[in-house]
Amino acid sequence: MTFSEDSKFESQIKTLIERKFGDLLTWEKPLIRQTVGPFDTTNIDQFEVRRDGMVGEAERVLRRFGATVVNFLHDDDCEGDNERRDQWSACLRREINSLHKRTPIWMDAGFGHPDYQADFEYWGQMEQFDLHEALMLSVGVEPKHYSKQRLERAIKAMERERLIEPIEFLARRYEQFFRKFPSTSFGKLRVSPYFLFDWFNEVELSVHPEFMEALRKRVTKSSGPASLSKDATADEAKVRTDKREVDKIAQLFAAMAVDQLGFDPHAKRSPVPKEIADLAASMGLQVSDDTVRKYLKLGARFIPNDWKPQ
């Protein structure tokens, strides 16, 4: 709302309105762009209309009071008609308090708020992403603006009540990411840009175009002519690997799996091979569960039968 500065009366009206509405008066409707997920500006549009309507009503009340009363209300130290002061204090009090509680949050209309957009150039240079970072970047939001803890609280709250659509969208997408990200006994692993790019394409997940483009650039650079040349050189330089060397590497591999992942060399089944394969996948490496199992089994042969973990 704007007010004329042509007179003392107008200036005092402006000041009284500012005092009554506080932050509500300075709130401005953001220009939300449609990106990924829900997009509906109805709530913020209605909020602005209601705020402006209440400000207009308060201004009309002051004008009906007239210059003398407005001058009295403007000066808190002035003694006079306290009935008018109480009347102005009560004017729209409940409505303003109610409106304060309904102030839209930044993602109310969707994830396209300009002040919360991710720095895609910065994140495009990262070697790895944790689950929360990848989740928020997939919808175009800087991860720090909506923390993992806030999302976890929202997911719990959804068991009791409905939340705004963008938050419920994030909660559902979190479940997809949680099931895809590789795990070990120590928790969820970080993943590479290649891991995310391949998965997004595989399932045709709707991802913010600027994040997808940042991932595409990374994947394209590492699979360009320079990389192909390296691979060709490596093929030409292949030599026969000594079996004793393979055995030693397998033993070291098994020892680390036992020490770090709780691998039981005597167990018939173990989740460890899959954990290691998932770890490799998170780094952009392609190693099958069977390959991991093969070399763990080879290394475990050298562990004495009477050995037990300490």
Confidence of residue 222 (pLDDT cuts 50, 70, 90): low
Amino acid in position 174: Y
How many angstroms separate the CA atoms of 282 and 193, rounded? 9
The per-residue pLDDT for range 146-156, each reduced to its tens digit, is: 999 999 999 99
**Burial letters 270-285, b for 16+ CB under 10 A, else e:** bebbbbbbbbbbbbbe
**Residue 15 reports pLDDT greater than 60:** yes
- pLDDT at position 281 is 78
Long-range contacts (CB closer than 8 Å, 24 or more residues apart) made by 59-68 = 59/1, 59/3, 59/13, 59/17, 61/88, 61/91, 62/13, 62/16, 62/17, 62/88, 63/13, 67/9
Sign of CA dihedral 137, 141, 145, 147: negative
Q: In whole angstroms, how large is the CA radius of gyration of the chain?
A: 31
Those residues whose C-beta lies under 8 Å from the C-beta of residue 57, and which sit 6 or more positions away, are: 92
Confidence of residue 309 (pLDDT cuts 50, 70, 90): low
* Choice among 1-10, 11-20, 58-67, 68-77 with the minimum mean pLDDT: 1-10
Residues recorded for the chain: 310
pTM of the model: 0.69
Q: In the predicted model, what is the mean pLDDT of the chain?
A: 86
Those residues whose C-beta lies under 8 Å from the C-beta of residue 110, and which sit 6 or more positions away, are: 32, 34, 35, 37, 38, 39, 40, 166
**Residue 117 reports pLDDT greater than 50:** yes
The per-residue pLDDT for range 45-60, each reduced to its tens digit, is: 999 999 999 999 999 9
- pLDDT at position 234 is 42
The per-residue pLDDT for range 243-302, each reduced to its tens digit, is: 778 878 888 888 888 888 888 887 778 888 888 888 887 777 778 788 888 888 888 888
What stretches of 230-273 adopt beta strand conformation (E)? Answer: none
